[in-house]
Structure 1
Amino acid sequence: MTITTEAATTAPATPATTAPTTAAEIYATARLGLYIDGEWRDGAAGRSFEVVNPATEEVVGHVARAEASDLDDALAAAERAFPLWRDTSAFEKARVLMKAVALLRERAPEIGRLMAIEQGKPVKDATIEVMRVSGTLEWCAQETRRLYGRIIPTDVDTSLEVRYEPVGVVGAIVPWNFPAGSPMRKMSAAIAAGCSLVIKASQEVPATVCALAQVFHDAGLPKGVLNLVFGRGAETAEHLIDSPTTRLIAFTGSVPVGKELNARAGALMKPTIMELGGHAPVIVAADADPIQAARRASAAKWANAGQVCTSPSRFLVHESIAAEFTAEMVRQAEALVVGDPLDESVTMGSLINAKRLESIAHLVDDAVAHGAKVASGGHRIGAAGFFYAPTILTDVPLDAEVMSEEPFGPIAPITTFTDLDEAIRIANSLPFGLAAYGFTESASTADLLARGFEAGILSINHCGGSVTEAPSGGVKESGLGRESGPEGVQAYLVTKRISHRLR
């Protein structure tokens, strides 16, 4: 593992006539604020949140904090805009969204730099994320022209049809780990379906989502269709849920918070889309290629420093190939370049905050206390910034916390098995069911894993997570509903049956 230590903010000062080069200078160019009814504004009370660069722990900006009155203004704007956008033709909706797609792709490098600074993701990965969400928006723009109803044959005196119509004003809450991906999955699907929305994004990573809002604005999205706010999680979410204006709540986040929000919405009979946490098992069968499995698993494990809800996070490896698999995992981990996210050579950046750093250190210490061995990593990197070494743990007992608590960080705990049925039982033993992965060269074993895993996202011989073209979501405590694919847009529609007596 290579470590880069020079942070972007330590670069020498540049003349005012040159383009910004330090993290602070780059971030100072970002537009930050609440976006309500087509305008940028501060919060009613003038309060704000600090934005911290997790690679340096430096405060690089401030973003407005929404008060209750700001939320009411956003909800009222969305309510006014909904009938207009609902009744806009599918062709015009698609035209506006495709304009936004073009702007996103044009601005991807600058948005990627802002994301790298505020979230700690390597700039190359951040730019790729922006390009990926442009594909998400493009898919939804095309899907808005395919929201077909149907005519049902009946007797000669009656016509019978089914129509799909937008549900109304959506309240959305998204986390920090994919500053472009999480907001766009909700914004693109809801807007394509004909809804308006108020989205509460994370105040830890505001510049990216503000840039997305500006893209929609510049593409000509009517005012009030998209409203963006930042606020304290619980009070903002509760306000959106309790408002009679919202007709659906879409949330991505932790299982405990999701349960609370779903219960609150359920008391009002409001439908929800809940993408919650997981703890993705990886079963590497005896007939798998251990080197290939380790390389493909590593590519997913260290992405975003492991801060991914579908990240492979429990490795169950057949004892006959465990040594080869582990050795390759270690090689892949130690080949990573960890450091300043703005450095193009860096392949793994920082964690988001001190809380994440403390949580990872605790899980490693607990695993070691239970008898696990550290094959690589196992320590913080440097004194400044929230960097933690990519860590491989072996001989991890099932009663270690890391085997039952989602690590959401750069830890790969490995344990061995001898019986495949037992491995599947262990994989399914937790209350989560978001993603699961298997490696095998046998068609019958692949089928056994696909049928046996209790998860909504399954990948065999790779660790692919969510994609634009197909639905993603969890089972058990990992969520309700689906995002992406046709199902992702349909989630924002209501079904209306119309029967008409002809004579």
Structure 2
Amino acid sequence: MTAGVLPDLNLYIGGEWRGSAGRETQPVLNPATGETIGALPLATSQDLADALETAERGFATWRATPPEQRAAVLLRTAALLRERAEELAQIATLEQGKPLAEARGEALYSAALLEFHAGEALRNYGKVLPRAPGLRSLVLKQPVGPVAAFCAWNFPVINPVRKISPALAAGCSVILKPSEETPASAIAVMKCFQDAGLPGEVCQIVFGVPDAVSRTLLASPVTRKLSFTGSVPIGKHLMKLAADTVMRMTMELGGHSPVLVFDDCDLEKTLDTLVAHKFRNAGQVCVSPTRFYVQEGIYDRFAAGFAERTGRIRMGDGREAGINMGPTANPRRPGTIEALVENARSVGAKLLAGGGRGEGDGFFFQPTVLGDVPIEAAAMNDEPFGPLALLARFGSVEDAIVHANRLPYGLAAYCFTENGRRQNLLADSVESGMVVINNVRTSWPDAPFGGIKESGFGSEDGPEGVEGHMITKAVHMS
């Protein structure tokens, strides 16, 4: 890869790479500089028709492929991801902005997902139900069919793998539409699958005008499952389109993660953990801790410690050594965060750290902390999706639970307390698909990842991620 320029950007259909000839293109920007670093070809209507026809053929081929062979392809792909981790990290940082260390970790975690799903390809068990002699009832697990998968831009390596890997383990074919803002990472991932021996008709990559692509793929009777990671409004729109053919869905939508910090926590450790996690990927993480509810007895110390640690974060180009936080990923984000900060301050929030845009032509916004944020502030109700931490006080455990469950989102929640009985109460009472106690890790290859309420339904990762790509068939024999 030439420094500062992305590798060639192409569509991938039927095992062939299709370039910009005869197609409209869209610029891809480096968020650290605002410079154009690539031209992305956009799929024509014929490209989409070809992708659907190919996915249908690919499904017939792949579902008939023995599980051991499917698993072998996933394992070879994982090995290539590990081998190419540095190359993938350089691409992801260039087009998305996160520090190289985070991008390397993303590539390695993606390999671990593939390795886990390779094992699950061999464990798609059915069962035999007890009947009278001579009778049999079988429960079979079979792949649902071609999958239309749509990715967000915030994790340009993990998100494509999260869509492709469990689908392939189940025996499905895939048409993947990654974000047009971070296409090169997904293309590099697809080249790993290709070099690992995945038949070209089994997985396709298309880019284009999102609404046109989604309407085409979701209206087709070929598509039997929708898998989407992105915002709540777009997710609801896609669900309506998918309803016309009653297809299966996995929806990983936005969140607004509450953090409940109790006065018996290990305060210094909690602060070190939360500040680093809050500003990971410049806060552009669906499970990013965002609403920090802190018990009154330690609030002032927590706020001071949070602001002091935030002030030590080094913001800059993610490719530079010593950078803790890169730019936001696109030119829309700084203005959105700035408006949320101004709104919160107008209703009484206190600025404790940051609060402004970065210098230069990149899409930077300072890591920002607001204290005593009123409930009516827009940021307390709408997901900021950026480097903005919101601090507020609470008194009792009951108050904390009310705050945590107040919004219609339920993706991830974090709780910090050394009281075991309280931990059990919070695990039971906080309305979230993932509740994390005394740490911040929500993603494990063998654990389900997903939300409830308006944060979506269905799970990625874990056995549940593969199960979501299977149908259940009962067979009764005599």
Q: TM-score, normalised by structure 1?
A: 0.93
In structure 1, distance between residues paired with 2:442 and 2:368: 21
Q: Look up the SS of the partner of 2:324 in the other structure.
A: coil
Q: 1:459 matched to which residue of 2?
A: 436
Q: Look up the SS of the partner of 1:224 in the other structure.
A: coil
Q: What's the CA shift string for 1:101-146, capped at 9, x where partnerless?
A: 1111111101100110000011111111011101111111111011
In structure 2, distance between residues paired with 1:415 and 1:369: 16
Q: 2:364 matched to which residue of 1?
A: 387
Q: 1:302 matched to which residue of 2?
A: 279
Q: Does 1:138 align with 2:115?
A: yes
Q: Which runs of 5+ in 2 are unaligned?
A: none
Q: What's the CA shift string for 1:40-78, capped at 9, x where partnerless?
A: 003674211100000000001111101221111011111
In structure 2, distance between residues paired with 1:452 and 1:408: 25
Query: Contact conserved, 1:31 with 1:211, CA < 8 A, in 2?
Result: no
Q: Look up the SS of the partner of 1:145 in the other structure.
A: coil
Q: Does 1:278 align with 2:255?
A: yes
In structure 2, distance between residues paired with 1:99 and 1:286: 48
In structure 2, distance between residues paired with 1:500 and 1:31: 55
In structure 2, distance between residues paired with 1:71 and 1:50: 21
In structure 2, distance between residues paired with 1:467 and 1:367: 35
In structure 2, distance between residues paired with 1:153 and 1:299: 54
Q: 2:18 matched to which residue of 1?
A: 41
Alignment of 1:276-355 (within 5 A): 276-355=253-332
Give the aligned CA root-mean-square deviation in angstroms. 1.1
CA positional deviation for 1:464: 1.7
Q: Does 1:356 align with 2:337?
A: no
Q: What's the CA shift string for 1:305-326, capped at 9, x where partnerless?
A: 0000000010000111011211
CA positional deviation for 1:496: 1.0
In structure 2, distance between residues paired with 1:156 and 1:105: 52
Q: Look up the SS of the partner of 2:259 in the other structure.
A: strand
Q: What's the CA shift string for 1:357-387, capped at 9, x where partnerless?
A: 1110011111111111111100111031011
In structure 2, distance between residues paired with 1:373 and 1:35: 50
The correspondence for 2:409, drawn from 408, 429, 432, is 432
In structure 2, distance between residues paired with 1:269 and 1:96: 31
Q: 1:262 matched to which residue of 2?
A: 239
Q: 1:493 matched to which residue of 2?
A: 470
Instruction: Give the AA of the match of 1:437.
Output: Y
Q: 1:249 matched to which residue of 2?
A: 226
Q: 1:480 matched to which residue of 2?
A: 457
Q: Look up the SS of the partner of 1:118 in the other structure.
A: helix
CA positional deviation for 1:349: 0.3
Alignment of 1:98-177 (within 5 A): 98-177=75-154
Instruction: Give the AA of the match of 2:59.
Output: F
Q: Look up the SS of the partner of 2:297 in the other structure.
A: coil
Q: Does 1:23 align with 2:4?
A: yes
Which has the larger displacement, 462-471 or 64-73?
Answer: 462-471
CA positional deviation for 1:452: 1.2
Instruction: Give the AA of the match of 1:61.
Output: G
In structure 2, distance between residues paired with 1:84 and 1:298: 48
Query: Contact conserved, 1:44 with 1:67, CA < 8 A, in 2?
Result: no
Q: Does 1:418 align with 2:399?
A: no
In structure 2, distance between residues paired with 1:98 and 1:398: 48
Query: Contact conserved, 1:149 with 1:164, CA < 8 A, in 2?
Result: yes
Q: 2:205 matched to which residue of 1?
A: 228
Query: Contact conserved, 1:198 with 1:229, CA < 8 A, in 2?
Result: yes
Q: Which runs of 5+ in 1 are unaligned?
A: 1-18
In structure 2, distance between residues paired with 1:116 and 1:43: 24
In structure 2, distance between residues paired with 1:326 and 1:294: 9
Query: Contact conserved, 1:376 with 1:391, CA < 8 A, in 2?
Result: yes
In structure 2, distance between residues paired with 1:53 and 1:34: 20
CA positional deviation for 1:260: 1.3
The correspondence for 2:66, drawn from 80, 89, 94, is 89
Instruction: Give the AA of the match of 1:230.
Output: F
CA positional deviation for 1:157: 2.5
Instruction: Give the AA of the match of 1:191.
Output: L
